[in-house]
Amino acid sequence: MMERTHHGSTEPTPSGTRLSAAERRRRLIDAGVAIAREEGGASVTLARVAARTGVTKPIAYRHFGTLPDLLAALHEAILDRYGQVVREALDAAGSRPRERLAAIARAYITHGLGEGAAYDAVTAARIVAGGPAEPDFVVPERLEQVFVDAFDLDGDRAAPLIVMFIGAGDGLVESVNAGVLSTELAIASLVDLFGRMLAEPGAPSPVSSSERER
């Protein structure tokens, strides 16, 4: 049966269950991220994503059109998930500043250990495929509001801090992957570093000296 992908349409699955076009697209993206994580960006193709999802290649093309379009969607999805897991961790954290900083650090490090490889693989594949590599500053823009909300910072203060947080966090993820640091030590190091940074004179202090000593 021919698939229709206009708004509100449904699509057949091999078992006969009908999925919305949005749900089918989500499954294709999930498959692409999984392939990038497991095999590298060069292995991501519309045919591979279609096969992994159990649909035909033309169906994948109807959703994405070209390989660069698919890779751009994967890139967007990975960034969205970073923001989502950090916000969910923050929502579940206590009200004390150190607890909130620790929640953000743990979410970023642990998610980076799972999705960092996929992000790097997709970014490299986009360059090879001729699509524009997404500039690094899109990540700070997405996560900046998390710091603003968590620590009552203004945007001018939050922007450079989140850039430094991501740089330090990514470096710590690489160290964990290399076996240099444990996950817990990486998280604790990120908390300690940014607790001190945010507590500098003239800036709102999310971590007091007494909290750092605990």
* Nearest in space to 115 (alpha carbons), one of 161, 138, 84, 69: 84
CA atoms of 44 and 24, how far apart (whole Å): 17
| Domains, the chain | 17-67 (1.10.10), 77-213 (1.10.357.10)
Q: Kindly report the pTM of this predicted structure.
A: 0.75
**Which pLDDT belongs to residue 159?**
82
Structure-block tokens of residue 186: 């990486």
Q: How many helices (H) and strands (E) does the chain have?
A: 9, 2
CA atoms of 30 and 51, how far apart (whole Å): 13
**Which pLDDT belongs to residue 134?**
59
* Nearest in space to 198 (alpha carbons), one of 209, 187, 188: 209
32-56: buried (b, 16+ CB within 10 Å) or exposed (e) per residue? bbebbbeebbeebbbebbbebbebe
* Tens digit of each residue's pLDDT, the chain (214 residues): 334 333 334 444 555 567 788 999 999 999 999 999 999 999 999 999 999 999 999 999 999 999 999 999 999 999 888 888 888 998 899 888 889 999 999 999 999 998 888 988 998 999 898 876 555 566 677 778 788 888 888 777 788 888 899 899 999 999 999 999 999 999 999 999 998 887 754 444 444 444 434 4
**Which pLDDT belongs to residue 203?**
45
**Which pLDDT belongs to residue 142?**
73
